[in-house]
Structure formats: C-alpha cells, structure tokens
Structure 1
C-alpha cells in the first residue's frame, strides 16, 4: 500500500521524530515500503539577510551536524538499509516537504506534531500547513 514514505524530522525534536518513525516503520514493514527522512532548515528573512555576515559557513556547519544526526536516526530504523534514506534541504518547511513528496513519489507523509497551543492556534503549525498543501495522504502523529 505504501511503497514510499516521507518522514520529515526536526533533528532538535527527538520525541516527535521517534513517535513519527514508529508509525512509519510499521507502515513500511506492512507494505514493503521505503522510508525517506527529510530535515528542512527553515529560511527566514533574518537568515537570508545574514548571508553577507558569513551565513554560508554556518549553513555548512549546520548541514554537517544534521547529516550526522540523520545518519544516527537512520541507523536505528529496523529495516534493511536499502529501504532507508535521508536528505536535507533549506527553505520553507512546508514547501520543501511538499516538493520532496513529489520528487520521490511518496504515498504518505508521516509527521510528528506537538499538542496545539495558543501559538499554533494563532500562527498555525508546520503539520497543519502540510495537510493543507500536500497532494498525498498525511499521517500526523502525536
């Protein structure tokens, strides 16, 4: 049923990642699917403006750390290694997730989400934004 499963992860949110991965691994085992982990570095106006101040060096350091963390997470997944991959991107979290979903032909997006609070009520969460814009099924894990 699910041959390609996208799992967006925030490498700073271990609990959310763990919960989402539990579901994704279960789905992958049931259907023989593959899992793609994706970490998105959000781009804000302040970050874009800081390119002049050596941001590219910070970006490179952040990418090295994220790659190490993604490798650690991938190594813990109880699936054959050829069924687990990861990638990183820079940009709008929602847009990058939607774009990668199309690129890899994901059948489902499995994403962890925190319980809503006043901030997410007023501004919205990444998970709710992804649900609105994704062209495939989205499983939100709490």
Structure 2
C-alpha cells in the first residue's frame, strides 16, 4: 500500500509528535514502508542579518540539537531501524515540507495539527497548507 511515508515533526511540539507516532508505526508496519522524519528549523530575519556574527555557528548548533532529538525519537519508534531516516532543513516549515515531498515523492504524508487558534485562522496552519498543496495523500492527526 505505502512504500514511503514522510512525517514532518517539530521539536517544540513533542506532545503532538507522540500522537502521530502510533499512526506512523501502524501504517508502516502494515505496508513495510520506509519512514522519513522531517524537521524544519526556522530562519528568522534577525538571524540572517546576524550572519557576520556567527550565523553558521548558530546553524551548526541548531542542526546538532535537532539531530540529537531526531535520533532519540527514532529510538522510540517500534519499527526496524533500517526503515527509518530523517532530514533537516532551514526555512518556512510548510514550504520545506512541500519541497521535500516533491523531491522524495512519498506515498503518504502524516502530519500533526494542533487545535486551531486565532493565528492559524489568520495565517493558516502548516498542516492546512500541506493538505492544500501536496501532490500525494496526507493524513492529518489531531
């Protein structure tokens, strides 16, 4: 059914990730699918403007922290470790999720979504943007 599943996760949204993982495990086990976890680190304009003051060092530290968290997360997932991988990007989460989805062409994207609040009504959520623009099936978990 599924050969490849993309799972966008957020270091800040650990509770939401805990809700998503059982669905990932279940569907990946059923299909023997490979799972790619994906985390996007934000790039604030202030950080970019501070490039000359060590942006590369900040980027390296942020990447190391994200990799540590993703490796810890992978160790909690009840799937064969050879079927699990991760990727990290800097940028806008919805744009980066759609970009990696276009590159990897997964059969399914499983994404968590928080309960909408005023900012998501005004700005839109990452999950809503992925659902609207993805070229593959998207499963949204609340």
Shorter-chain TM-score range:
over 0.9
How many residues in Structure 1 have an aligned counterpart in Structure 2?
Answer: 142
Change over 3 Å in CA distance of 1:46–1:132 after alignment to 2: farther
Unmatched 5+ stretches in structure 2? none
1:85-106 C-alpha deviation (Å, 9 max, x unpaired):
1110111211211121122221
Counterpart-to-counterpart distance in 2, 1:124 and 1:48: 24
1:36-74 C-alpha deviation (Å, 9 max, x unpaired):
000111223233222122121111111001000000001
Q: Which residue of 2 aligns with 1:118?
A: 118
TM-score scaled by length of structure 2: 0.94
Counterpart-to-counterpart distance in 2, 1:25 and 1:102: 23
1:3-30 C-alpha deviation (Å, 9 max, x unpaired):
1000000012111111111111111011
Structure 1 runs, 4 residues or longer, greater than 3 Å off: none
Unmatched 5+ stretches in structure 1? none
Q: For structure 1, which segment, 39-48 or 10-19, has the greater mean C-alpha deviation from structure 2 after superposition?
A: 39-48
Q: Secondary structure at the match of 2:79?
A: coil
Counterpart-to-counterpart distance in 2, 1:9 and 1:128: 15
- For the pair 1:53 / 2:41, whether they are aligned, the reply is no
The CA deviation at 1:32 is 1.0
The CA deviation at 1:116 is 0.3
- For the pair 1:8 / 2:8, whether they are aligned, the reply is yes
Counterpart-to-counterpart distance in 2, 1:82 and 1:106: 17
Q: Which residue of 1 aligns with 2:74?
A: 74
Q: Secondary structure at the match of 1:30?
A: helix
Counterpart-to-counterpart distance in 2, 1:5 and 1:119: 29
Counterpart-to-counterpart distance in 2, 1:61 and 1:68: 11
Q: CA RMSD in A?
A: 1.1
